[in-house]
Each structure stands twice: as structure tokens, then as C-alpha cells.
Amino acid sequence: MLPIEAAVAALQSADESRTGYSRTAFKYWTARDNPTDGCNTRQEVLLAEATVASEVGPRRAITGGTWFSYYNEVAVDGARGLDIDRMVPLAEAWETQ
């Protein structure tokens, strides 16, 4: 086993590239538990995790609501202030493959 300093020093590095990346190539939203309600996975999670209830408007838009961010311990008002779909952005993951 290598000491951490030696292991890090042995890592290869290369320039990142987004060549070939397209967000639309990643089909990750599903109909979840109820395929007839019109909500995708993101919408289902937002509805389930709200600390103050939100509403589903036209075209399944989530309006109102409050969520608690466990990462920075703040309340977030409005679904647009939240990214719930991944821990690493798709473009960053693509660049570092």
C-alpha cells in the first residue's frame, strides 16, 4: 500500500474535453411509481421532499414549496433553486471519463 502522498502523485492527469457531450444523450427521468400522474422523477422527489408543500401547476410545473438543504443547512424556497438529479454534473462527469 502506498502512502496517500505517493498515491496522489502517481495519478495521471489529462486535459478535460467535452467533445461529443450532449445532455440530451442522458435519458434519466422516468415516470416513477405512478406513470399516469404525468410527473417525472425530479417532480416526484420535489413533491415528496418538500418541508412546506408545493403545488403542481399546468404542464406539471412545481410551484411554491420549501425544501431543506442538508448540504448547507438552509431552507430553499422554490423548486428552481434546487438541483436534485445528480451529485456530479453530467458535463463534468463526461469531461473526466
Q: What residues does each domain of the chain span?
A: 4-95
Say if residues 91 and 18 touch (Cβ distance below 8 Å): yes
Residue 93 has pLDDT above 90, yes or no: no
In the block, cell 451529485 appears at 87
| Model confidence, pTM | 0.57
pLDDT score at 66: 96
> What single-letter amino acid sits at 21?
Y
pLDDT score at 76: 94
Q: Can you tell me the distance from the alpha carbon of 82 to that of 60, in angstroms, rounded to the nearest whole number?
A: 16
| pLDDT, tens digit, 9 for 90 and up, residues 13-62 | 888 888 888 877 776 666 666 667 778 878 888 988 999 999 888 888 89
Say if residues 32 and 65 touch (Cβ distance below 8 Å): no
Considering only the C-alpha atoms of the chain, give the largest distance between any 2 of them, rounded to a whole number of Å. Answer: 57
- What is the per-residue burial (b if ≥16 Cβ within 10 Å, else e) of 75-92? ebeebeebeeeeeeeeee
